[in-house]
A and B are shown apart, each in its own frame.
Chain A
Amino acid sequence: MTVSTRHRALWRRCLALLVLIPAIALAGPTAPLDKKLKIGVTLHPYYSFVANIVGDRAEVVALIPAQANPHNYQPQPDDITRAMTLDALVVNGIGHDEWAFQIVKAAGRGATLPIIQANASVALIPIGGDQDGAKVVNPHTFVSTTAAIQQVFEITRRLGELDPQNAAAYRQNALAYAARIRALRAGFMTRFAALDLSSFRCATTHAGYDYMMQEFGLFVSAVIEPRHGVAPTARQLANTLDAIKKANVRVLFAEKNFSLDLAKPIEAATGVKVFALSHITGTAYSADEFEVAMRENLETLAEAVEFTQR
């Protein structure tokens, strides 16, 4: 082989290398810029919150089936599969979705999946009524408007950190959503403004409505369940019935999608009128589910207050 032939071969190799380097770099595992985040949610209200925050800029994935009861949910294999594909998970974190952490752990995502605690910046309040003198945290922050808006803002802030490109859009969407929730509340506030709320006394079967009551200056006098999801003993029930009678309670709020087995005997024993509020657990996830359910709740609350004015 002559010297010139060797030089040509060397040049060919260098040229091939120059062509290959960018090709190899482009073939690397870089994520496409327009990749949408997959954001998991544990409860119905959070589906609505996140869907309204992200619009079409991210995908919202419900971690468990819509019909499942979060109070006693047992994780299923499909949940684990879903958790494996998520980019973030929005949780209540203070008492409704403990199973989510089991699912995340089983999916091997305990160290890699960002968890967004929706309640991280929500000022919690205690469960109303007499809890044996103890102040027990009420985890139902999503059955409200003000605490719901606070959660929407918290989720928005965290999503903006995870997805900076869309942070401004998320914030604009969150502000528009918050304005809609406030408008919903304002409509009922006008209705409440004409009513005398000072003498309103109510009891609830489930400690789910203190945040909503707080927004209207209303308070719960007695809660039938001694603890979240725990049925009362005969003695506890007798004590609660006494408390209802002494406080001159005329209204009992039961759970809309749950059994009224507990409410009916209390109605018979005390003469209270039973109204049913929604825990915002439905049969299908949707962006407007929270607003629909809260409108129904506020309508029920207004009817109950109006009943006591008659």
Chain B
Amino acid sequence: MARLSRAWSGDDAHGAIRVVRPASGRWESLALLLAALAIIASVTGYVLLRAQHAGPPTPLSWQVRSFDGLGAVDQAIHSALLPAGEEIIWNNNDTGGWITLTRAQDILLPPFYRDAFWKTNGEVHWQLILPGTHLPHAGSVDDHDDADVPPDPSPSDVSQATQGQGATVYYGSGGHAPGQSAYLLVIGHAHAGVMWANQATIWVHRDPNAPYPGIVKPESLVGSGWRQVIPYDGASEVERVKGNQP
């Protein structure tokens, strides 16, 4: 605390003018300035160095985000493929089999089920490619007529392509909605040792008539122009807004 100095700078006998100097000289101003600078430096350092909340995944060059990277039709088909993939995997866990496209019609499973959704989203031609088997077989191919649809892969090609990969693939092509892609729902199988064990990944190709890629390993798909769809899901949104949740 500053104390009154004994030094009187004026000689006014009546005490009309007095200059009071702090006992500590003029260090208060400097100390205040230094303190302010220290606070500014601390706040700046905290802002720059604080732990950042992880945001949604940034797509790599061979990936595309469902939220803002797909057109409306692709987005709708992707949204339908996600629960379909889950149901297909559960069905496989329970029965050991795969939901054929005939069965998908029976259980009204979009996007394979041919309803108004299928119609307005380009009437995509779907095929089921089983791991290491001679396909297409009965029930594994949509049998509607469409001249633009690329020819089905021959059974020997399919067998060769999926041999040892353990992946089951639902391949959609020939859609005629403007800007539409071709689609792959790739379901990895745990015992086959593929990278997406027991889970589904979805890929799109800009050419709606892109041929079946043959090998469905990621490096091969990327090489032939397929892009993996990264869903911007609720978990990503929660992480973006709040950081990690319990």
Interface residues of A (CB under 8 A from B): 93-94, 110-111, 113-115, 117-126, 135, 137, 141, 146-147, 149-150, 153, 171, 175, 178-179, 182-183, 185-186, 189-190, 192-193, 197, 211, 214-217, 219
| Interface residue ranges, B against A (CB under 8 Å) | 66-68, 72-73, 75-76, 78-80, 82-83, 86-87, 90, 94, 107-110, 113, 115-117, 119-121, 231-235, 237-238, 241, 245-246
B234 touches A122 (CB 8 A): yes
Pairwise interchain contact B237-A137, C-beta atoms closer than 8 A: yes
CB–CB B83/A216 < 8 A = no
A183 touching B110 by the CB < 8 A rule?
A: no
CB <8 Å contact, A117 and B238: yes
Q: Out of A94, A178, A186, which one reaches B113, CB within 8 Å?
A: A186
Residues from chain A with a CB closer than 8 A to the CB of B80 are 146
* Chain A residue nearest to B94 in the complex (CB): A171
Cβ B234 vs Cβ A124 within 8 A? yes
Chain B: CB-nearest residue to A115: B246
Closest to A217 in B: B120
Min CB distance B122 to A, Å, is 9
Instruction: Indicate whether A141 sits within 8 Å of B67 (C-beta atoms), given known contacts A171-B90, A178-B83, A215-B76.
Output: no
Q: A183-B108, A214-B79, A216-B117 are in contact. Are A122 and B86 (CB under 8 A)?
A: no
List 17 A–B pairs whose Cβ atoms lie within 8 Å, in order of A's numbering.
Answer: A94-B241, A120-B234, A121-B86, A123-B78, A126-B68, A137-B67, A137-B232, A150-B83, A153-B90, A175-B87, A179-B107, A179-B108, A182-B108, A186-B108, A190-B116, A193-B116, A211-B79
CB atoms of A178 and B87 under 8 A apart:
yes
Are the CB atoms of B78 and A120 closer together than 8 Å?
Answer: no
* Contact yes or no, A217 B234, CB < 8 A: no
Interface contact B115-A186, CB-CB below 8 Å? yes
Number of residue pairs across A and B with beta carbons under 8 Å?
Answer: 123
Residue among B82, B94, B233 with max Cβ neighbours from chain A (10 Å) = B233
Is chain A's binding surface mostly helix, strand, loop or mixed? mixed
Contact A153 B68 (CB under 8 A): no
A179 to B109, CA, bound (A): 9
- The 3 tightest CB contacts between A and B, nearest first, are A119-B234, A217-B120, A189-B115
In contact, A217 and B237 (Cβ under 8 angstroms): no
CB distance from A176 to the nearest CB of B (A): 11
Task: Check B117–A189 contact: CB distance below 8 A.
Answer: yes
CA distance A122 to B67 in the complex (A): 11
What separation, in Å, do the CA atoms of A140 and B155 have in the docked complex?
44
Partner of B117, one of A125, A153, A211, A217: A217
Q: By the criterion CB–CB under 8 Å, are A93 and B79 in contact?
A: no
What's the least CB distance linking A54 to chain B, in Å? 17
Q: Give the distance in Å from the alpha carbon of A302 to the alpha carbon of B90 in the complex.
A: 33
The CA-CA distance from A185 to B120 in the complex, in Å, is: 15
Most chain A Cβ neighbours within 10 Å, of B73, B75, B86, B119? B86
| Cα-based distance from A214 to B82 in the complex (angstroms) | 15
CA distance A178 to B86 in the complex (A): 12
- Measured between alpha carbons, how far is A164 from B110 in the docked complex, in Å? 29
B235 — nearest CB in chain A belongs to which residue? A120
How far apart sit A215 and B92, CA to CA, in the bound complex (Å)? Answer: 26
B232 contact set on A, CB distance < 8 A:
123-124, 137
A197 adjacent to B116 (CB under 8 Å):
yes
A160 to B237 alpha-carbon distance, docked (Å) = 24
